[in-house]
Amino acid sequence: MKSRTDQLQHIKENNIDVLVIGGGINGAVSAAVLSAAGIRTALVEARDFAGFTSQNSSNLIWGGIKYLESFEFGLVRKLCRGRNRLLKAYPTSIVETRFIAAVGTRATHSRLAIWAGAWVYWLLGGGFTAIPRLLSRSRCAKEEPVSAIPELLGGVEYSDGVLREGDARFVLGFIKRATRCGCAAVNYTSVTSMKERVGRGWEVVLRDEQSGDSLTITPKAVINAAGPFVDRLNHQSGVETTHHHRFSKGIHLIVDRLTPSRRVLSFFARDGRPFFVIPIGNRTCIGTTDTLSRSPEAVIAEEDRQFVLDHINTHLNLKRALTRTDIIAERCGVRPLAVAHQDQTETTPFLELSRRHTIETDPERQIISIFGGKLTDCLSVGDEILREAAKLGFKGHPGDWFGEPPLASRESFCDQGEELLQDSEADIDLQRLWRAYGEGAIEILGRFARDRHQMELLLPGSDLTRGELEWVRENEMVVTLDDFLRRRSLLAMTFKAAELASMPGLKVVSRILFGASGDTCYNRWCEGAGLTPRQVEADDSGDRQQQKESQCKPIAHSSQGSPGG
C-alpha cells in the first residue's frame, strides 16, 4: 500500500469513476470488488480504516442462530452461506470453532429445544460444519469446567466461525487488496460536502484530517458506505432514501483468559439474548449488550459494564468474581440496523428489527447507499455492489477480490520460517504472521533472513518483532500509535493501556513507526488513554532528539529500503 500522500495525490490527479465513502467492512468490500473488476475506484475514511463500528464487533462469522427464535429462516440461511464462503476462502484467519451453549435452570429455552434448533441451524448451513452434540451436565462440566455452576443442566455444541486476528485486520485485508488493483484508499480523510452535478456525477469536498487541507474531486458516482453515518451524509447531500438506520449499542469487555480451550461459550442473558465468552488472541472477550442508542457515537455506561460483569459472574464457575479491575480493554459500537420507513424507525421495538442489509441505488443521481450489514455477510454485499454499479453504467467482470493466498504459498512460508527460526532465541508465531499478513509474511521472513537484528522482540509478552513492525510501517498506513495497537495488532486487547505505557519497548515501537515524531505520538497516545507519558528514555538505537512536531506523521519510506528505527 502506498503512503497517504501518494494515495491523496492519486485521488487528486486521476479521474475517479466511483468514490466509496467509509472504510468499514461495507466500504472495504465495495472498493475491493469494484477495483478488481477494473472500475476506477477510490475510498476515503474519516478515521482509521475500520476505525468505527467494524472494530467493535464480537469477531464472529456466524449464521445468526439466535434469529431462528424470530423464525427468520431466510436470513439465517443467507448468513450461513456467507459464513461458509468465508470459512472456505479464509482457512487460517477464520476458523470453524465449536460453541457450547450452556443451559441452566433459568434459561429461556430447554436443552432439547436448543438441540433441535442447532440441527435446524446445521441443516440451513448445508451441513458444512461439524454436527451438533447434546451434552449432559457432567459432559459439559468436564469439557468446560467454567460452565459447571449449580444451575447447569447441560449444553449443546455446534459450530460457527471466529476471526482469529480480529475484525479490523479482516477489513484492512479488503482495502489492501483494493489498492493492489489500483484503488486509491486513504484514511483520516473525510467527505465534508457533496453536491450533485446534474447528469455528470458529484462534486465532493474532502478534508485531510491530518493536514487540514481540502480537496475537491468529481467522481462519476458515489457509494455511501458510511455505516451509522449513512443517513447523516445523505441528508446533508439532499439524497432521499426509503431505508434509514436505527442504532443498537453493544459492548464487550476484554479480560484475562477464562478457559484454556479455544471454544466459544454462550449463555442466555436476562433479556433472553445470547451472551458470549469468546477467545481473542490470548485473552477472552465477553459480551454483548443490545440497547437502543439515539446516536452513532455511543459510549460505555457504568450499567453496561455492570450488566456484562454480573452475567459472567452468574453464568460461570470462576475462582473469584470478576470486577472492574479485571477489565483489560473495552469495546463499544452501534449496530446500524436497516429499517424500511421513517415511521417504522419510531414504532417497532428495536430488538425485533431484522439484521438484514439493504442496498439502495439511485441510477439518476448516481449514488448507492448501504444500510445495515454484518461482517459475516460481506461477500454478498460485495457481489450486490458489483451488480448495482452496473445499473449506474459501471460494468466489469468479477475479479479475484477476496480470500487468502493459495495453500502452497503458506506451506512454503512455514517451511522457510521453521528453518530460519530453528536456531533463533525468539519465539515467533509463524501462523500468526501468516494469518495477519498473508504473502506479506513472506517479505517479513525475508527481512529476518537478511538481518537477524530484525528478529528482535520489542514488547515483553508479545512476539512483535522489529522486522514485522517495519513492514507494517511501510505497508499499512499507520497514522497514530492507536492505529497500530488497536487495529493493526491485538496489543490493545492484550494489555491494559497503563501496562503498555510502562513498557520501555512501546517508545521504541512508536519511534520505529513514526521516526522523529515517535515520542510525540507516544505522548499523544498516553494522553488519549488518560495516562501520564512515561518520562524514561527507552533503551534503543532510535532517534532521541527532543520532539517538536505537532502531529504524528508516519516516516517517509520508499518501496526499496527500510529506514532504521
Ligand X SMILES: Cc1cc2nc3c(=O)[nH]c(=O)nc-3n(C[C@H](O)[C@H](O)[C@H](O)COP(=O)(O)OP(=O)(O)OC[C@H]3O[C@@H](n4cnc5c(N)ncnc54)[C@H](O)[C@@H]3O)c2cc1C
Tell me how far apart the alpha carbons of residues 117 and 423 are, in angstroms, rounded to a whole number.
51
Smallest gap, in angstroms, from Cβ of residue 81 to ligand X?
13
Binding test (CB under 6 A) with ligand X, winner from 7, 57, 494, 517 = 57
Which residue number, 11 or 233, has a Cβ lying nearer to ligand X?
233
Tell me how far apart the alpha carbons of residues 159 and 157 are, in angstroms, rounded to a whole number.
7
Smallest gap, in angstroms, from Cβ of residue 403 to ligand X?
17
* Residue written as grid cell 465495495: 30
Please calculate the CA angle 259-262-263 and round it to the nearest 5 degrees: 85
Which residue number, 190 or 562, has a Cβ lying nearer to ligand X?
190
* Residue written as grid cell 488519549: 528
Binding mask 294-333 for ligand X (x = CB under 6 A): ---------------------------------------x
Which residue number, 54 or 523, has a Cβ lying nearer to ligand X?
54
Binding mask 173-212 for ligand X (x = CB under 6 A): -----------------xx---------------------
129 binds ligand X (CB under 6 A): no
Return the half-sphere exposure (C-beta side, CA atoms, 13 A cut-off) of residue 355. Answer: 24
Which residue number, 31 or 225, has a Cβ lying nearer to ligand X?
225
Tell me how far apart the alpha carbons of residues 163 and 57 are, in angstroms, rounded to a whole number.
10
Other residues' Cβ atoms within 10 Å of the Cβ of residue 429: 12
Q: How would you classify the pairing of strands 133-136 and 18-21?
A: unpaired
Q: Which of residues 330-369 bind ligand X (CB under 6 A)?
A: 333-336
Smallest gap, in angstroms, from Cβ of residue 514 to ligand X?
22
Binding test (CB under 6 A) with ligand X, winner from 117, 125, 155, 250 = 250
Binding test (CB under 6 A) with ligand X, winner from 30, 35, 41, 53 = 53
Which residue number, 233 or 538, has a Cβ lying nearer to ligand X?
233
Could you say which DSSP state residue 12 is in?
Answer: H
Return the half-sphere exposure (C-beta side, CA atoms, 13 A cut-off) of residue 22. Answer: 25
Binding test (CB under 6 A) with ligand X, winner from 42, 87, 226, 526 = 226
All residues at 6 or more sequence positions from 147 whose CB lies less than 8 Å from its CB, including other chains: 100, 102, 140, 141, 155, 265, 315, 316, 317
Return the half-sphere exposure (C-beta side, CA atoms, 13 A cut-off) of residue 283. Answer: 23
Q: How far is CA 291 from CA 247, 251, 333, 340, in A?
A: 8, 10, 11, 20
Which residue number, 94 or 428, has a Cβ lying nearer to ligand X?
94
Other residues' Cβ atoms within 10 Å of the Cβ of residue 214: 12
227 binds ligand X (CB under 6 A): yes
Could you say which DSSP state residue 357 is in?
Answer: -
Stretch that binds ligand X, among 46-54, 115-123, 144-152, 506-514 (CB under 6 A): 46-54
Which residue number, 337 or 555, has a Cβ lying nearer to ligand X?
337
Smallest gap, in angstroms, from Cβ of residue 45 to ligand X?
5
Alpha helices in 109-259 (DSSP H): 111-124, 137-143, 167-180, 230-236
**Can you read off the three cell numbers belonging to residue 88?**
472456505
Which residue number, 293 or 517, has a Cβ lying nearer to ligand X?
293
44 binds ligand X (CB under 6 A): yes
Please calculate the CA angle 414-417-423 and round it to the nearest 5 degrees: 135
Q: How many residues bind ligand X (CB under 6 A)?
A: 38
Binding mask 4-23 for ligand X (x = CB under 6 A): -----------------xxx
Instruction: Note the residues at the interface with ligand X (CB under 6 A).
Output: 21-27, 44-47, 51-54, 56-60, 190-191, 225-229, 233, 250, 288, 333-336, 373-376
